[in-house]
Amino acid sequence: MQPVLHRIAQPIALHEFADALRAAAPPRSSHGIAPISRRVGLAISGGVDSMALAYLCAEARKLNPQLQVADAPISGFTAVVVDHGLREGSTTEAGLVAKALADMGHRAHVCTLKWPGTAPGAAQGSMSSVETTARRLRYQSLGMQLASTRIVSLLLAHHEDDQYETILMRLLSGYGLNGGIRGLRGMRSAVDLPECHGIYGAHQSGLLDEQRRHPSYVALRPGRRQKEHMRREFREEMEAAAAAAAAADLASVPESRDTTADFTSGMRSQNEDMIVDELLRPAGPQPVDLVPIDSEDMGITAYRPLLCFAKDRLVATCLANNVPWFEDHTNADPTLTMRNALRHVVRNHTLPVSLQKPAVLQLAAQCDLQARQHEAEARRLLLRHGVVQRFTANAGTLSVRLPRIQGWTRRRPWRKTTPSCAADGYAAVSREKRRLYLRTIAALAIQKLLSFVTPEANVTPISQLQTVVNTLFPELVSPETLSKETTTSHPKSFIICGVHFMPILQTRCATSGTSAPGPVRSWYLARAPHSAAERVTSSAGASASPLAVWFPGKSIAQRWSKHPEHWAWSSWTRWRLYDGRYWCRTRTRLPTHVVLQPFDRAHSKPFREALANNAQSLFQLDAFLAALKTHAPGKVRYTLPALYVTSDIDWALAGKPYWPDVHAAEADWAARHEERELTVAGDYVGEGGLSEGILAGVGDYCGDYYSNHPPVYRHTGLGRRNDLFLWERHQRTYERAQYQQRAKEASGALQLTRAAELRRPVDRLLALPTLGVHIPGIEDWLQWEVRFRKVDTALLRGE
């Protein structure tokens, strides 16, 4: 009797899952050391795939307590259950899922999504838009939850069937046309957590703060034992090298040679060189190099260890181990989303062999392999030719020198026996194929260069960089296109992906002194100049600028009873991402808000004058001007971030008192209260201020905010804290009204009269944080930290 083999899905073995997890989550950095185990996050929806992932993680760690993910061993798993609130009973279901996870030994947190605007059930638009919004909110909720608990690794439960459906959907949407292969790679096993751009600790950030904490999960320095071992090895190597050098010197030096004279003469020569250097050094303050700001790294990485397992194996795993799961009935409705419709077609119809799962997954594997080879070749191109000349994080600029790329024709071994016409045809086809390949490599190299400077979250795809390739690498232009170009002038500067490409013309003709025609190899990359909408300054309302980042002032509750000299520092604000490039945070003793926005040309002269008026800042002024000329020439300087204040802070810089004379106002109120027998009980009207009776009797500010008379302190009898709060609020309202008035006059809407008599506050430039320059005295009231976003530091080091 012949044996019968039934194709029944088998549960996933623990060693299979451990191997898949190890392959999906390799070490993130070859230099990083993780001396302490840390927790790993799990994204759990309650479905069969995520519950199988939770079970396999729990059992795998029991089997191997030293199981590692990325850089560190696992100390435990933290499961995050996201309640979307889109259907009835979702909250109860999330609670049941959390209980099941707790029974497995995981920590479970339930996060309920906060939908913007209307309730999720009343969301307008198609189901696809609701699904897109839910995905964005889900990943942002996961990112904030994990970042707050110092978790940098998240396991997702996407499996082989999800990969197949994703690639099939992209094929139906037109991915892969015109030779594109990157869209057909499918979901990768390790990616940065999506939809978390601008969340510190979640998106490519958090490493520097992690190193400051104790204990630190990530250490870039060796431990004590490693240091001792390294010292011992170095000592042995140095002793062996010194002994070998001494033996060589004794064998080569004649007996009559006086080594002492040679030694003293060498010392004398070094001292003479040092004296000459001191004499030749110019006098006066010299421009110093910028102190480079640090670049961020790390962030949360999402891993998909189940991409090599089919869904039926996950179901078999749950059934074999009595793992509960919860089905979402909306996933079975083929009319809701395109994925549901495609899943229905795959299950109920027989597709052509080329569209079935084995063929599609094989296509994705081939596309992924080829894409990885292209990216590695582009990286080798940049390293081999030393393309990156200088990167200045303080100004966000990059200087590059591009190589000449030539596509050579491959020779055939049977070329001599082939007719000349056939040989010429083969050479032409081979040359064209090589040219197209090199254009892809050049476009990928341009993408890597753009990633250093661009303020945008996503770099321009290579399909939209073909014109840039023609400009930067003219030798890769097709002969047909090259024959149509009749001009021989140098390429002009251009802007793409928020990056301004400026050619550096170095070759000059001896006769005319002008630049000689020819391809430009050196380029200067900087952030593109801000548009008019991005340059809305605080004089017209800085909150209207999409780039403005506001930092709050110190609360009045913490300073109303103290003299300004005794105001304590506020806590550091959370890190904010400015212009997609700089992470910034502040702490302050000022009562006013501080805004981070583009450096405005109008504030350049007052800022220089403030530095020149202080004797201690003259050297800082020279260094500031030299830094602008060297690192931020032309319009590049007006893309730098700058800290502004929109209130008068001369009292802080000059050491003058801030609070008004409250004793005189209280004495005046007491005298009038006795005369009029005025009561204030019940007259306070909340946010709007005081009632008409109190305004008239007690004298709360009720004048014109657009006049030339600022508000004065009035005693209301409701407590000094309340009176100071009202006075400060009226001061800020008065300042905002003055800003609006000044903006209208600047635009011509109002006629400017008595300009010399108006005592209106102006927005003031406090500091250029990336250059380390600030007005004198502000460091006693405001502190800041600035870091550049994550860049490819290995490429800068030539690794």
DSSP for 487-516 reads: --SPPPPEEETTEEEEE----B-TTT-SBP
Q: Residue type for 681, please?
A: A
Q: Measured between alpha carbons, how far is 583 from 589 in angstroms, rounded to an integer?
A: 21
Query: What is the structure's pLDDT at 615?
Result: 65
Each residue's pLDDT tens digit, 425-447: 777 888 888 899 999 999 999 99
Q: For residue 779, how many other CB atoms are within 10 A of its CB?
A: 12
Proportion of the chain above pLDDT 90, given as a percent = 40
DSSP annotation of 517: P
If you write DSSP's letter for every residue of 271-292 in order, what string do you get?
HHHHHHHHHHSPSS--PPPP-P
DSSP annotation of 321: T
If you write DSSP's letter for every residue of 589-657 in order, what string do you get?
--SS-EEEEEPPGGGHHHHHHHHHTSGGGHHHHHHHHHHHHHHS-GGGGGGSEEEEE-S--HHHHHT--
Query: What is the structure's pLDDT at 256?
Result: 45
Lowest mean pLDDT among 32-36, 84-88, 791-795: 32-36
Question: What are φ and ψ of residue 768, in 5° steps?
Answer: -110, 95
For residues 403-436, b (16+ Cβ closer than 10 Å) or e, as one string? Answer: eebebeeeeeeeeeeeeeeebeebeeebeeebbe
Bridging pattern class, strands 576-578 and 549-551:
unpaired
Q: Select, from the ranges 26-30, 33-37, 398-402, the one with the highest average predicted confidence (pLDDT).
A: 398-402
Identify which has the larger pLDDT, 151 or 733. Answer: 151
> Is residue 11's pLDDT more than 70?
yes
Reading the block at residue 176, the tokens are 């892969």
Each residue's pLDDT tens digit, 333-369: 788 888 888 888 888 888 899 899 999 999 999 999 9
Bridging pattern class, strands 301-303 and 153-155:
parallel
Q: Measured between alpha carbons, how far is 548 from 642 in angstroms, rounded to an integer?
A: 10
CA distances, 374 to each of 379, 380, 435, 450 (Å) = 9, 10, 14, 17
Residues in the chain: 799
Q: What is the largest CA-CA distance in the chain?
A: 122
Reading the block at residue 585, the tokens are 């945070």
Domain boundaries, the chain: 14-206+298-327, 385-508+518-528, 538-646+763-794, 662-747
Q: Measured between alpha carbons, how far is 451 from 792 in angstroms, rounded to an integer?
A: 8
Each residue's pLDDT tens digit, 195-239: 999 999 999 999 899 888 877 776 666 666 667 767 877 888 888
Do 680 and 637 touch, CB atoms closer than 8 A? Answer: no
- Whose tokens are 């409250």? That residue is 662
CA distances, 717 to each of 675, 684, 710, 726 (Å) = 15, 11, 22, 12
Report the Cα 27 to chain-centroid distance in Å: 22
If you write DSSP's letter for every residue of 179-199 in order, what string do you get?
G--GGGS-S-SEEEPTT-TT-
> Is residue 532's pLDDT more than 90?
no
Q: Measured between alpha carbons, how far is 67 from 57 in angstroms, rounded to an integer?
A: 10
Domain 14-206+298-327 classification at class level:
alpha beta
Instruction: Give me the chain's average pLDDT, please.
Output: 79
Lowest mean pLDDT among 166-175, 395-404, 539-548: 539-548
Strand order in the sheet with 499-503: 388-392, 397-401, 522-527, 499-503, 494-496
Do 500 and 396 touch, CB atoms closer than 8 A? Answer: no
- Whose tokens are 């109860």? That residue is 92
